Amino acid sequence: MSRQSNRTTDSKKMNSELFTLTYGALVTQLCKDYENDEEVNKQLDKMGYNIGVRLIEDFLARSNIGRCQDFRETADVIAKVAFKMYLGITPSVTNWSPAGDEFSLILENNPLVDFVELPDNHSTLIYSNLLCGVLRGALEMVQMAVDVRFVQDTLRGDNVTEIRMKFIKRIEENLPAGDE
């Protein structure tokens, strides 16, 4: 019976490991299928986008969060609510541009790379590029066009993982003609 008791506590962590491992299997498969890392990065971003446009619904339903007043608030919600909810981490929001339209998310530890080491021949692979796609896709669904990219990555020897997000524009909803 001792087996039962000590497991329940970390079952949550285990489930995130399921995601991490599945993601690893996916990246491995992509690396097998595509010749160069650029293609893999692109594919990961695309898949992330598809996940993001669906995930936002789950997020809004679960978090009960309303409309954000400005981009700063959006940044906070992403870091403190969304990342916390889905990856169990809270990245810090820093390096705001003077115009307030660009910031960095600093991830101290990135659960996606828990069991990962990059082999030498994949130096340009952006392993966690899926995240960029997810953020882009999710924000697009709430009328925000953003540019998301990795600028630092612990996998490639940097001290932290840094995701840079830049606000591009508000997407106006185009109602079909004659529809009020």
Partner 1 sequence: MADEAPFQLLHYELLQYIYKAADGGDAEQGRNVTKLESMGFRVGQGLLERLTKDTARFKDELDVMKFICKDFWTCVFKKQIDNLRTNHQGIYVLQDNAFRLLAQLSAGKQYLELSPKYLAFTCGLVRGALCGLGVKSIVTAEVSVMPACKFQVMIQKM
Positions touching partner 1 (CB under 8 A) are 2-4, 6-7, 11-12, 14-19, 21-26, 28-30, 43, 47, 50-51, 54-55, 58, 62, 84-88, 115
CB 139 within 8 A of CB 131: no
144 forms beta bridges with: 170
Cβ neighbours of residue 30 under 8 Å, at least 6 residues apart?
A: 40, 43, 44
- Min dist CB 29 to partner 1, Å, is 6
Please state the closest distance from residue 163 (CB atom) to partner 1, in A: 17
Q: Output 89 or 118, the one with its CB closest to partner 1.
A: 89
Q: How far is the CB of 86 from partner 1 (least distance, A)?
A: 5
Task: Compare residues 104 and 137 and give the one whose CB is closer to partner 1.
Answer: 137
State which residue, 113 or 167, has the beta carbon closest to partner 1: 113
Q: How far is the CB of 174 from partner 1 (least distance, A)?
A: 27
Closer to partner 1 by CB, 88 or 100: give it.
Answer: 88
List b or e across 34-60, with b for residues whose CB sees 16 or more CB atoms inside 10 angstroms: eeebeebbbbbbebbbebbbebbeebe
Question: Based on CB atoms, which residue is closest to partner 1, 18 or 175?
Answer: 18
Q: Least distance (Å) from partner 1 to the CB of residue 149?
A: 20
* Cβ 167 vs Cβ 158: under 8 Å: no
Greatest distance between any 2 Cα atoms in the chain = 67
CA distance 113 to 66: 32
